[in-house]
Structure 1
Amino acid sequence: MQILIVGLGLIGSSLALCIKKEHPQYTVSGWDIQQKSREIAEKQAIIDQVPTDFASGAEQADVIILAVPVKTAAAYLDELENLSLKETVLVTDVGSTKQEIMACAQTKKFRFIGGHPMAGSHKSGVQAADSELFVNAYYIFTDAEENQQELDLLKDLFRGTRAKYVVMTAAEHDEVTGMLSHLPHIIASGLVNQADDLSKTHPRAKQLAAGGFRDITRIASSDPTMWTDILLSNKAVLLNSLQQWQKAMDQMVTWLEAEDQTAIFDFFERAKDTRDLLPDRKQGAIPAFYDLFVDVPDVPGVIAEVTGILGSAGLSLINLKIQETREDIIGILQISFKNQSDLLAAKECIENKTDFYCWIK
């Protein structure tokens, strides 16, 4: 079987590794607008080959995976319509919104099933490819109920992801992800921008934001280009969600002005009860963060000591930073891992070999 992956970023390259691992008999071709990405993917054996051009690769493919943003995917669908594709070709995408791409695909002559692997990473690009990226994440297929044969083909193709498959309508997908992912990204970015305005008057604000504020707004560090595309392709859902959010905040303003202690208490109590019932450490609409916090003393070589312990245990970290939230010590060492098993193993290793205090939020 000939597979063509269009877009060799984090998602596309990681899917390529998963397919090659589970289906070594398949030929995985890769195409990216960036020549360097194509060269790296082929050199590192993430893909088997690079076609001469997009058109020739598409015409030889049995399955085409559009691992690009929604607007770009729609443009590729238009281009595919004018090519001499195999009659049995199946096209899918990985976009974060589904109604727009599904509407575009319905006008085409080839078979299409919408897809959305709900996984991500602190890193991006072909060099961040990770065959473990999708483990236990949800992989959503949209408007596929009447295409069981094609759906089964994709489920088998992506078996190496070890993801959990979910089938829903495009409208349901966009409503759910709009509320659980897109709106939180807007709110987080708004909070960061407001805090930035505050820091111009109160410079200490940035220093104090290094703790919990930084944690709850970390999704604001996401790619601006990608999120502009997501918002515009889920416009109707987000306009409604933002209007509901504004109404809720207007209600809070009213309670504060009236000093309505009961209403304010009920607001926080309901949120707490709901939050406490959410699944713990599961992959959801927003990729989970696997962070270990280590209280380290102000002595030379302490960071090398911690990373050395992790290296000896064969544990790979993906990010490391010092949180300078207190002035009497260097700070708290924050270490990020790509999955929960590495996180828990790292905590155990450091606690067994040092007297440093470690915790997971």
Structure 2
Amino acid sequence: MGKTVYIIGLGLIGGSIALAIKRDHPDVHIIGYDINKNQCSLAEKIGVIDECSETKLPDLEHVDVIFISTPVEETLKIIRELKDVKLKKGVIITDVGSTKEKIIQCAEQELSDREIVFIGGHPMAGSHKSGVVAARPHLFENAFYIFTPTEKVPAEKIEELIDLIKGTKANFIELSPVEHDQITGVISHFPHIVAAGLVFQAEKYEEKFPLVKRLAAGGFRDITRIASSNPAMWRDILIHNRNSLLQLFDDWIEEMNRLKEFVAKEQGDELFSYFNNAKQYRDELPEKQKGAIPSFYDLYIDVPDYPGIISEVTGYLAKEEISLTNIRIIETREEIYGVLRLSFQTERDRENAIKCISKYSDYETFIV
């Protein structure tokens, strides 16, 4: 008889984990719960889960693995609630939170006196869509799936969890909670802060220059996309990763002061080296590897601006049954190669779109 898995939170991440488990372990029975009962019913209807729980903490004595797929603050509440729930001996409990130190501390405090194995987890992948209908078994493919187990966690339990979710086709690695939070602070949390800061700066300047918003429709809009993320989620993340981020604020201010000094003194050679070094490091980043921030699979197409061009291009894609997630006309073309930007769910869809466009037209396509 297969395992029984319970997933709390049936959004994009929880739903995708369920589908990945089903792909490799069809005999696993998956029970799900979501605070939005319609979401839970939908998950059962479309086959993401096998059974929908009416309550958050039902009878769990027969459950082998529990996934907590909720925002970090809610995850802490659930861990505290599980303290008083009857659970199966040796049950594995894991989460998907993007901060780990406080979650692990909470689990150690609340669950350490019981025969429960808590393994902190963070699948570093996402999408710009949300909800269980956006769940995909391949969401985590080629992404890093980080575990932050304590020394008390037996190695065989980590292997058991990996075997359960191997259908994600993710790259599994282990970090300490502190290492995890410091790394994600640098590559995910602080970039969101910078993006939000740039948006606030533009808003402030709009009072003096009303054209700011209109001219920002091009590259500025793209580099600040992540500022459109869920504000409640980012409030919690910043509070949970406070220590790492406070150090990053100091480092960033020091770095900006150094750059400011180059500009103030008109030090051209230093400025060239600064941007050249940044370019080299950025160009060396893995292209195929998914990172902490969801990838944007955008394709720019240099097309003439005439009536019907959008329907023409989308018509080509429709012939090849290639799905789009978004389409936009670029008004400001500075450093942007195409007037039309198409966004796709996966890199594979984008590659197929490039072949499709070249098959039916002579329009140039660019990836930037």
Shorter chain as normaliser: what TM range?
over 0.9
**Where do residues 333-344 of structure 1 align in structure 2 (5 Å cutoff)?**
333-344=340-351
2:133 maps to 1:127: yes
Identity among equivalent pairs (%): 46
The alpha-carbon deviation at position 341 of structure 1 amounts to: 1.7
SS in 2 for 1:320: strand
Decide which of 209, 214, 218 is 2:216's aligned counterpart.
209
2:233 maps to 1:226: yes
The alpha-carbon deviation at position 233 of structure 1 amounts to: 0.7
Partner of 1:351: 358
Q: Give the residue type in structure 2 aligned to 1:308.
A: G
Distance in 2 between residues matched to 1:46 and 1:40, nearest whole Å: 9
The alpha-carbon deviation at position 227 of structure 1 amounts to: 0.8
What TM-score, normalized by structure 2, do the two folds share? 0.93
Partner of 2:46: 44
Partner of 1:140: 146
The alpha-carbon deviation at position 320 of structure 1 amounts to: 1.6
Distance in 2 between residues matched to 1:260 and 1:303, nearest whole Å: 46
Distance in 2 between residues matched to 1:267 and 1:255, nearest whole Å: 9
Could you tell which deviates more after superposition, 138-147 or 43-52? 138-147
**Where do residues 86-125 of structure 1 align in structure 2 (5 Å cutoff)?**
86-107=88-109, 108=111, 109=114, 110-125=116-131
Query: Residues 82 and 183 (structure 1 numbering): CA distance in 2 closer, same or farther, change over 3 Å?
Result: same
Query: Residues 346 and 91 (structure 1 numbering): CA distance in 2 closer, same or farther, change over 3 Å?
Result: same
Decide which of 162, 167, 183 is 1:160's aligned counterpart.
167
What do residues 178-203 of structure 1 show as CA deviations (whole Å, max 9, x unaligned)?
A: 00111111001110111121122212
Q: Give the residue type in structure 2 aligned to 1:184.
A: P
Distance in 2 between residues matched to 1:239 and 1:320, nearest whole Å: 38
2:10 maps to 1:8: yes
SS in 2 for 1:284: coil
What do residues 273-332 of structure 1 show as CA deviations (whole Å, max 9, x unaligned)?
A: 2222222242112222110111222333322222222122122222222222269xxx82
Structure 1, unaligned stretches of length 5 or more? none
Distance in 2 between residues matched to 1:158 and 1:338, nearest whole Å: 22
Partner of 2:193: 186
SS in 1 for 2:145: strand
Could you tell which deviates more after superposition, 239-248 or 48-57? 48-57
Decide which of 49, 52, 55 is 1:53's aligned counterpart.
55
Distance in 1 between residues matched to 2:28 and 2:202, nearest whole Å: 51
Q: Give the residue type in structure 2 aligned to 1:71.
A: E
Distance in 2 between residues matched to 1:14 and 1:337, nearest whole Å: 18
What TM-score, normalized by structure 1, do the two folds share? 0.95
The alpha-carbon deviation at position 175 of structure 1 amounts to: 0.7
The alpha-carbon deviation at position 144 of structure 1 amounts to: 5.4
Distance in 2 between residues matched to 1:237 and 1:147, nearest whole Å: 28
Distance in 1 between residues matched to 2:317 and 2:53, nearest whole Å: 41
Distance in 1 between residues matched to 2:307 and 2:168, nearest whole Å: 42
Alpha-carbon RMSD: 1.7
Structure 2, unaligned stretches of length 5 or more? none
2:245 maps to 1:243: no
Asked whether the 8 Å contact 2:21–2:167 carries over to 1, the reply is: yes
Could you tell which deviates more after superposition, 211-220 or 8-17? 211-220
Q: How many corresponding residue pairs?
A: 358
**Where do residues 284-303 of structure 1 align in structure 2 (5 Å cutoff)?**
284-303=291-310
Asked whether the 8 Å contact 2:215–2:332 carries over to 1, the reply is: yes
Partner of 1:77: 79
Distance in 2 between residues matched to 1:301 and 1:54, nearest whole Å: 51
Q: Give the residue type in structure 2 aligned to 1:185.
A: H
Partner of 2:184: 177
What do residues 242-263 of structure 1 show as CA deviations (whole Å, max 9, x unaligned)?
A: 1110111122223322333333
Distance in 2 between residues matched to 1:287 and 1:69, nearest whole Å: 17
The alpha-carbon deviation at position 162 of structure 1 amounts to: 0.8
Asked whether the 8 Å contact 1:5–1:29 carries over to 2, the reply is: yes
Q: Give the residue type in structure 1 aligned to 2:53.
A: P
Distance in 2 between residues matched to 1:339 and 1:57, nearest whole Å: 38
